[in-house]
Amino acid sequence: MKGKVFLVGSGPGGRSLLTLRAQQVLEEADVILYDQLPGEEILASLPEGAEKVDCGKFGGRHTLEQDEIERLMVSRAREGKKVVRLKGGDPFLFGRGGEELEALREHGIPVELVPGVTSAIAVPGAVGIPVTHRKYASTVTILTGHEDPGKEGSAIDWENLAGNRGTLVILMGVRNLAAIAENLVTHGRDPGTPVAIIERGMRPDQRVTTGTLATIEGVAQERRVRPPAVIVIGDVVRLYREGEPGLVPPS
C-alpha cells in the first residue's frame, strides 16, 4: 500500500473559502500537518479521527523544524497513509510548499497539489482593492517583506520595484514596514504613493489601515498593526472606500 501527500491550501481564513477538494481530502486524511495560518475556524473543524500535528510555523515560532516536517510527511506516507499538509492561502506562495514538493519527489512519494485562494489577491480584493485595474496598474508583484531590506545582497531588486508603476503586494511585511517604505522612496518611488494594510483579511475581525509611503509607518505604529497582514502599495489603493457596504468579510 502506497501513501500519498496532499499539499493543500486553506485559503485566507474561514471554512467558506476552502475548496471542495480541500474539504474532501481533509475528511479522508489519516494525518494532518498544519500551520497556524489557516486560522481558528478551520483548525477547530479538522476531523477528529485523523492524527493532527501542529507544525506551528507562523510569525517566526517553530514547533517543528522544516526538515522534521518533511521527514514526518515521508515516514507517514511510507506507512501507507494519506497525509495532508495544510497551509494558509495557496501552498506554493511563500509557504515552503515548493521545498516540500522537492523533498517528497526525492523520496518517491506521490504528491497531489490542492491549490488555495491566496491572501495576496483575495485579501485586498475583499476590501475593494483589485490588484490590477486598467486605469491604475497592469502588473502586480508579490513579494515577501520577511527579508530585512537593508541587508547586503538582498534577493529583492528594490531599484526595479521602486521604478515599476505596478501594484506591489507584500506578505510578511509588518515588521519591516518602515524599512520597506523607506527603501522604495530612496530608490525613487513617489512618497505620496498610497498604501493599505489589511490585517486578518476575510476574517470577522479584519481591519484596514491606509496611508502613503511617507506616512504609513507612523499610522501603523499608532494603530498597533500586527501580522498576519497584507500590504498593498500603488494607485489601486485609491479604489478603497472605508466601510463600503457589500465589501464586508464573509460571515
Say if CB 87 and CB 100 are below 8 A apart. no
Active site residue 35: yes
Say if CB 149 and CB 247 are below 8 A apart. no
Active site residue 202: no
* The one catalytic residue among 57, 81, 82, 87: 57
Q: Is position 200 an interface residue for ligand SAH (rule: CB under 6 A)? A: yes
Taking the C-alpha atoms of residue 60 and residue 129, their distance in angstroms, rounded to an integer, is 28
Mark residue 69 as left, alpha or beta (left: phi above 0; alpha: psi -120 to 50; beta: remaining): alpha
Q: Is position 124 an interface residue for ligand SAH (rule: CB under 6 A)? A: no
Taking the C-alpha atoms of residue 220 and residue 178, their distance in angstroms, rounded to an integer, is 10
Question: What strand order describes the sheet that includes 194-199?
Answer: 140-144, 167-171, 229-233, 194-199, 207-212
Active site residue 57: yes
Q: Which of 3, 5, 8, 12 binds ligand SAH (CB under 6 A)?
A: 12
Q: Which of 202, 208, 216, 236 binds ligand SAH (CB under 6 A)?
A: 202
Task: Name the segment binding ligand SAH (CB under 6 A); options: 105-113, 149-157, 212-220, 224-232.
Answer: 224-232
Task: Name the segment binding ligand SAH (CB under 6 A); options: 44-52, 84-92, 186-194, 209-217.
Answer: 84-92
In angstroms, what is the minimal distance from the CB of 144 to ligand SAH?
7
Q: What element of type H or E holds 106?
A: helix 97-106
Q: Which of 119, 141, 183, 210 binds ligand SAH (CB under 6 A)?
A: 119
Chain position carrying cell 489577491:
121
Q: Which of 6, 34, 94, 240 binds ligand SAH (CB under 6 A)?
A: 94
Q: Is position 89 an interface residue for ligand SAH (rule: CB under 6 A)? A: yes
